[in-house]
Amino acid sequence: MKKYFKFVVLLVSVLAVQLVSAQSVTITTNPFPATICAGQGTNVSLTANPTGGIVIGYVWSNGGLTQAINVSPLATTTYTVTVTFMGGILANANQTVTVLPAPNPTITAGGSTNICAGNSVLLTSSVADTYQWYLNGSVIPGATNVNYSASATGSYQAYVTVGTCSGMSAATVVTVNPLPVANVTPAGPLTTCWGTPIVLTAQAGAGYSYQWQMSPTGNAPWNNVIGETNQTISISVTGYYRVQVTDGNSCINYSN
């Protein structure tokens, strides 16, 4: 009888150990893997999945007391959940949420961003996986390369992605200056007698400088008329004349 009693007690003990060891918990995440980008407000849902017994309660390391929690850490963080089963049995599980740094793209200009009408400046983004250029906060259609040739006044930004994370660059301002006015007014007829010069006058403008040019045929090449850098020129040689006007922004225009 004593042997039988000992056998029953041993059998009950084995069963109790098996019941205790069967109670456990795992954590599932959404999204999976549990990776987010810094500063982009993305949440990760962590859900405890207990097995093997009746659950009394949950305690997360961040203070959460529910089966599922949403987290958005600023740095990579490991979260622990402790599940209490009926009978006071505890089970733990850990889950790490990885925070990737957000891209911080920069723009490099291939020259002055203060340009003249008709010209452009090459803007280059720092290296990323994908690119989208913006002008004044709006998408530039088709501008999806690392480089963009800017020819309009405005604020340019590059929106890039690296892996699953994205970021917008600071603005680079490009200013397009108008060309100076290069009109020429003759003082009289463009045909004259020998010894009577023809006077041409270029339009005046703030900061303008002038260089008169001459071509025998009206086609290239145009050659500078030595010493003729005033607003007016007195012509006594037959030919085609034009004026090159440069303004204070170093923009150049030519008369017709």
- The pLDDT tens digits of the residues spanning 104-140 come to 999 999 999 999 999 999 999 999 999 999 999 999 9
Neighbour-count burial of 45, counting CB atoms closer than 10 A to its CB (0-12 exposed, 13-18 middle, 19+ buried): middle
2 pLDDT above the threshold of 70: no
pLDDT interval class at 190 (50, 70, 90):
confident
> Could you tell me the CA-to-CA distances from 167 to 86, 134, 170, 250 in Å, in that order?
48, 13, 10, 36
The strand pairing partners of 224, in sequence order, are: 213
Helices (H), the chain: 2-21
Check whether 9 has a pLDDT greater than 60: no
> Is pLDDT above 80 for 7?
no
Pick the CATH number of 23-100 from 1.10.10.10, 3.30.540.10, 2.60.40.10, 1.10.510.10: 2.60.40.10
CATH of domain 107-177: 2.60.40.10
Residue 196 has a pLDDT of 85
Q: What's the half-sphere exposure (Cβ side, CA atoms, 13 Å) at 13? A: 6
Residue-level pLDDT at 251: 97
**Is-cis flag, bond preceding 178, omega within 30?**
no
Residue 16 in this model has a pLDDT that exceeds 90: no
**In contact, 82 and 59? CB cutoff 8 Å:** yes
- Torsion angles phi and psi, residue 80, rounded to 5: -120, 135
Give DSSP secondary structure letters for 39-65. Answer: TS---EEEEEEEESS-EEEEEETTS--
* Averaged pLDDT, 221-245: 96
pLDDT confidence of residue 21: 52
**Distances, alpha carbon 230 to alpha carbons 96, 130, 205, 206, 209, in Å:** 76, 53, 13, 14, 8
pLDDT tens by residue, 201-216? 999 999 999 999 999 9
CB 140 within 8 A of CB 116: no
Question: 142-177 pLDDT, tens per residue?
Answer: 999 999 999 999 999 999 999 999 999 999 999 999
